[in-house]
Amino acid sequence: MSRSSRHVPSEVLQVGDLRFNLVRSTRRKTVGITVERDGSLWIAAPEDCPIERVAEVTREKELWVCQKLARKEMLFRPAPTKEFVSGETFSYLGRGYRLKVVDPSEQEVPLRLLQGRFLLRRDTVPRAHEHFVRWYCENGRRWIERRVVRWAPRIGVRPRSVAVRELGYRWGSCSPNGTLNFHWRSVLFPPSIVDYIIVHEMVHLIVPDHSAEFWRRVERALPDFAARKEWLAVEGAASY
């Protein structure tokens, strides 16, 4: 989870067998390294930091990076393929809801959640994944917006807007203009985990990196953030 600028590396740095995407920023004070969910490696460095210093810090953290990569490989479990048949279970905010495929005459919309069941129109089954993603994006955004309103004064920020969409291997991101973005899969998790993702991104509006100050602010809002972070690392890979 990070600022969206991470997707535009300004340089590429090779350290041993490891390849890092380097992003420079005038807001950075220190060199920080992040291992993304897809295993890609990113370095955030101050604008004026010599490349030699960046490489030195990276070499110092090489063992840590390798351990992170090994752990991600160990934990990664591909999500089971959905068949979109009646009786199949789909998650939303930590709860499982059974799917019922219904005739087109029974409802106008392709997909809805009603009385504890997802109802999917039979003629839309070939595009069922798209309809589920759209449903999660629309309903998840409304839910997250309410949580953002709750957390904003406690963290001391005023986000500009909220979006729920496909974010690849990131659970969330934020932009300098105050826009918060969340992966549609994040709303499958229990509310306590979604809150952690929300708080994480809102704190990034104040502290752009993962420095000690960043984690202090996260802990101030969520004293048990470490347990929530661990849950996300272990359980999040196989979500849907």
pLDDT score at 68: 76
The C-alpha atoms of residue 172 and residue 181 are separated, in whole angstroms, by 5
Is residue 92 one of the residues assigned to a domain?
A: no
Range of the structural domain that residue 212 is part of? 128-238
Is residue 52 one of the residues assigned to a domain?
A: yes
pLDDT score at 29: 84
Is residue 170 one of the residues assigned to a domain?
A: yes
For the chain, what is the mean pLDDT?
Answer: 88
pLDDT band at 64 (very low <50, low <70, confident <90, very high): confident
Is residue 114 one of the residues assigned to a domain?
A: no
Q: Are residues 143 and 66 in the same domain?
A: no
Is residue 80 one of the residues assigned to a domain?
A: no
The pLDDT tens digits of the residues spanning 81-96 come to 899 999 999 999 999 9
pLDDT score at 42: 85
For residue 1, what are its two tokens?
A: 């989870």
The C-alpha atoms of residue 89 and residue 138 are separated, in whole angstroms, by 20
- How do beta strands 117-121 and 111-114 pair? antiparallel
pLDDT band at 5 (very low <50, low <70, confident <90, very high): very low
Asked if pLDDT for residue 149 goes beyond 90, the answer is: yes
